Amino acid sequence: MSTEVHRVRMMMELRRQGVSDDRVLGAIERIPRELFVARHFLDQAYEANALPIACGQTVSNPVVVGLMTQALEVGDRMKVLEIGTGSGYQAAVLSRLCRRLYTVERHKSLLKEAEARFHRLRLHNITSIAGDGTRGWPEQAPFDRIMVTAAASELPQALYEQLAIGGLMVLPKDKEAGNQVVLLVRRVAEGLPEIEELFPTKFVPLVKGLPQH
Ligand code: SAH
């Protein structure tokens, strides 16, 4: 079956699973997912699955990318931070929706490959660094929106503090018994954050610090 047929099927699956925002659907439609998956998994590039990439990590399921991106309500003038660049797929989708996208990855080799993809696709509004994303990117804060694409055990305080007041963060978080849930967090001026549970999920863990090699 041709790539085009697979792409159309993926877009139908996104709609079927609740992605209805036209801007989000348009952004996903314009990013060729086959450029972000390992050659070995090319035939599955447009299936609704997460796929392995290097360093034991994964490129997220496109449906999860769609639902999390939709929940973030990204506007075209916004400054957005992503934690966990991985293949760069989620960053590429977000970059089509906002003014500037910042992304942090702890594995340098993954970041280099992602940067080559951004370059190839001429996604010039993405700025990326290698580092520990649990600390956010203080020099660039505040952000209107933050998306974390690895599962945290707690709400990362540094990230919350780098959100503009009224800003939104979407992140997968550990729950009891090895389960995870995607949370939508709103930064408030004072007091406790407003938190909504969106849907169950499965992400690789958010790991503090940098790899040894
Ligand atoms: N957004 C990615 C998903 C990658 S999986 C994509 O679309 O392909 C999650 C990524 O988070 C992995 O690459 C992992 O290395 C990274 N990660 C985990 N903990 C991190 C941390 N503390 N700081 C930065 N990146 C982290």
Q: Which domains does the chain have, with CATH numbers?
A: 3-201 (3.40.50.150)
pTM score: 0.97
Which ligand 1 atom is at minimum distance from the Cα of 133? 23
Give per-residue pLDDT as tens, 160-211.
Answer: 999 999 999 999 999 988 999 999 999 999 999 999 999 999 999 999 988 9
Q: Would you tell me how many other CB atoms lie within 10 Å of the CB of residue 145?
A: 24
What are the residue ranges in the chain where pLDDT is below 50?
Answer: none
Q: Tell me, what's the pLDDT at 128? A: 98
Query: How much distance in Å is there from the Cα of 193 to the middle of ligand 1?
Result: 24
Q: Tell me, what's the pLDDT at 88? A: 98
Residues 6 or more apart whose CB falls under 8 angstroms from that of 10 comprise 33, 46, 47, 48, 62
Catalytic residue among 2, 20, 60, 109: 60
109 is catalytic: no
Which ligand 1 atom is at minimum distance from the Cα of 65? 7
